[in-house]
Amino acid sequence: MEGEGAREREREKERRGEGEGETESERRGRGRGREMHSAVQRVNALATIAVILLATICAAASFLGAFNSNSPSVQAHAEVVRINHFRRQNDWNDKVEMTLSISMDLESFFTWNTKQVFVFIAAEYETEKNSLNQVSLWDHIVHEKERASFQVKAPAKYPLIDQGFHLRGRKIGLVLHWHIMPICGRIIRGNMRLSEFSLPASYTQVSI
């Protein structure tokens, strides 16, 4: 009987296999390993979903922003109210300093995806040397929709300097340029002609 009992116990051990010799701490360690592996899988899955959602939002913002900002309703005007100095410089350039009157309403540029708007007013004209001359006279950055409507009357930030002596009697156009910088997506650029003026046929100040 004892021999049969011993053989039965041996067969029972074989059926149980490797798990027969495991201690309680080993079984717990194996369980914790499975839990950690499962937690890492969940974190990876959540991170993948978050990246996909972020990419989708960025693509949608860029797509919708292009439609909203390609043809904004811009209300703007600028004109020269005074030529302060117009002289021929000794470094072989004409130089003009002027006072501008500027009014703008750029609220239509601002949507939920607008970070800021950069605008500048350029003097644009043709000469025998260049088909297009473009010189920035004034610029401004608008950070908030609440400050997108304003009026300014002040000297131009930057003088109009020509590549040579081509400005006497020249007709000049004032053109507004804008760069709409989004939170996500591409920069939207545009421009609008505001006004024209003609410079005097002679200099108003002797160069020094």
Residue 208 has pLDDT above 50, yes or no: no
pLDDT digits (tens, 9 = 90+) for 45-82: 787 888 888 777 666 666 665 555 455 678 999 999 99
Structure confidence at residue 117 (pLDDT): 97
Comparing CA positions, the residue from 105, 74, 98 lying closest to residue 197 is 98
> Over pLDDT 70: what percentage of the chain?
73
The domain ranges of the chain are 14-68, 73-198
Mean pLDDT across 85-109: 94
List the single range of 52-66, 87-101, 187-201 with lowest mean pLDDT.
Answer: 52-66
Q: Which of 153, 161, 151 is nearest to 99 (CA)?
A: 153
pTM, full prediction: 0.69
On average, the pLDDT of the chain sits at: 83
Class of domain 73-198: mainly beta
Task: Please answer whether residues 114 and 182 qualify as being in contact, where contact means their C-beta atoms are separated by less than 8 angstroms.
Answer: yes
